[in-house]
Amino acid sequence: MNWDDTTDPDTDAAGERLVGPVADREDQAVEAALRPKDLGEFIGQEKVREQLDLVLRAARARGATADHVLLSGAPGLGKTTLSMIIAAEMGAPIRITSGPAIQHAGDLAAILSSLQEGEVLFLDEIHRMSRPAEEMLYMAMEDFRVDVIVGKGPGATAIPLELPPFTLVGATTRAGLLPPPLRDRFGFTAHMEFYEPTELERVVHRSAGLLDVEIDTAGAAEIAGRSRGTPRIANRLLRRVRDYAQVKADGVITREIAAAALAVYEVDARGLDRLDRAVLDALLKLFGGGPVGLSTLAVAVGEERETVEEVAEPFLVREGLLARTPRGRVATPAAWAHLGLTPPRAHTPGNGQGDLFGA
């Protein structure tokens, strides 16, 4: 998960980018309160829920520990929530850590050796774990045993340490970075998909009820349509619209109130925020729609290369507004239309650029 302490125009007072993965402690607490507590409450991801329900019910029927579970998908789709639900459904405690926090095999050995029987270990961003720890995890997952090395050099001795049966729930936003030996040790693997607007409307209505906010169907639809297919973003936008409705209106969220509130926070009707539009604006106005290199584009918008590549680009590509080509980043006709601009003649079909636009 990326964290950013800087404040810019598309963040709230706490420095949170409303449509990004950043959150402060207060928002994390609110998000935790909104989390579903069981599979019946969990909205969306129908296939994953059905498959996971079978895995957990079968494990409970056998009186056994559930198989290890790997959850992959973009940030904000519910991986952490599902890990907590797995623990709740199995009646087991949960231990939460992350790949970046485990940089040595000893770090992992300390965690594994303190697990209780049946406990769920949630390992977020598992692809960022160090290689020595990763290799230790292979044996722990398969044989519930680790070898602890005592001493150094020729006198070093491996002491086998038996572990109680446990369930590892790994979460990753980059499943392709996981080595095959690690992926193969998970008994159940699920990929989390982006949500449909109708599913996000249900998420918004549920969260509004928990927050004691009055919202009508059109208001929920307006928020859902700007949430980039992500429940976490839908909940954040709902809280900001709630603030606007309480200060500027009578507290009831309608379509008009939601649209006015999100205009203040610079989230447009398609879910683009200031950074997204800055990238498109530079690509279209400064570079004629491209192609242009990523580093050049990042300099033009005053951001780091990684910020543009990891924060703005995935959504712009998914929305069909930007294309990655061997020659650089290229705006699509939809990008010109979204910003209300007319593409130069060189970018119209039949003028040698058609291959960049799928023509």
Q: Is 184 a catalytic residue?
A: no
- Report how far residue 328's alpha carbon sits from residue 115's, in angstroms, rounded to the nearest whole number: 49
Residue 46, both tokens: 């129908």
143 is known to lie in a ligand binding site: yes
User: Cα–Cα–Cα angle for 235, 239, 244, nearest 5°?
Assistant: 145
What is the radius of gyration, based on Cα positions, of the chain? 23
Residue 49 labeled ligand binder: no
Q: Please tell me whether 31 is known to bind a ligand.
A: no
Cα distances from 134 to residues 178, 206, 253, 324, in angstroms, run 10, 39, 48, 32
Its sign, for the CA torsion 166, 171, 176, 178, is: negative
Give the separation between CA 105 and CA 192, rounded to whole angstroms: 29
329 is in an annotated binding site: yes
Residue 240 in marked binding region: no
Q: How far out from the chain centre does Cα 134 lie?
A: 22
Known catalytic residue at 12: no
Catalytic residue (one of 10, 11, 49, 124): 124
Backbone dihedral angles phi then psi of residue 285, each to the nearest 5 degrees: -85, -35
Query: Can the peptide bond before residue 291 be classed as cis, meaning omega within 30 degrees of 0?
Result: yes
Q: Which of 11, 80, 254, 307 is catalytic?
A: 80
Annotated active-site residue 348? The verdict is no
Phi and psi at 252, nearest 5°, equal -95, 130
145 is in an annotated binding site: no
Is 173 known to be catalytic?
yes
Is 325 assigned to a binding site? no
Among the listed residues 226, 232, 242, 277, the single catalytic one is 232
- Which is it for strands 94-98 and 157-162: parallel, antiparallel or unpaired? unpaired
In Å, the largest CA–CA distance within the chain is 75
Please check if 52 is assigned to a binding site.
no
**Residue 195 near residue 171 (C-beta atoms within 8 A):** no
Q: How far apart are CA 144 and CA 142, in angstroms?
A: 6
Q: Is 34 assigned a ligand-binding role in the annotation? A: yes
Q: Is 198 known to be catalytic? A: no
79 labelled ligand-binding:
yes
Q: Is 35 annotated as a binding residue?
A: yes
Residue of 173, 230, 254, 332 with catalytic role: 173
> Which regions of the chain does DSSP assign to beta strands (E)?
69-72, 94-98, 120-124, 145-150, 157-162, 167-172, 188-191, 322-325, 328-331
> What angle in degrees, to the nearest 10, is found between the helix axes of 46-62 and 79-90?
30
Distance of CA 233 to the CA centre of its chain: 10
Point out the catalytic residue in the list 17, 79, 240, 274: 79
Indicate the annotated binding residues. 34-35, 76, 79-81, 142-144, 185, 195, 232, 305, 324, 329
Binding residues for DNA, as ranges, are: 305, 324, 329
Q: Which residues are annotated binding-site positions for ATP? A: 34-35, 76, 79-81, 142-144, 185, 195, 232
Could you give the residue numbers annotated as active site?
79-80, 124, 173, 232
Q: Give binding residues for Mg(2+) as ranges.
A: 80
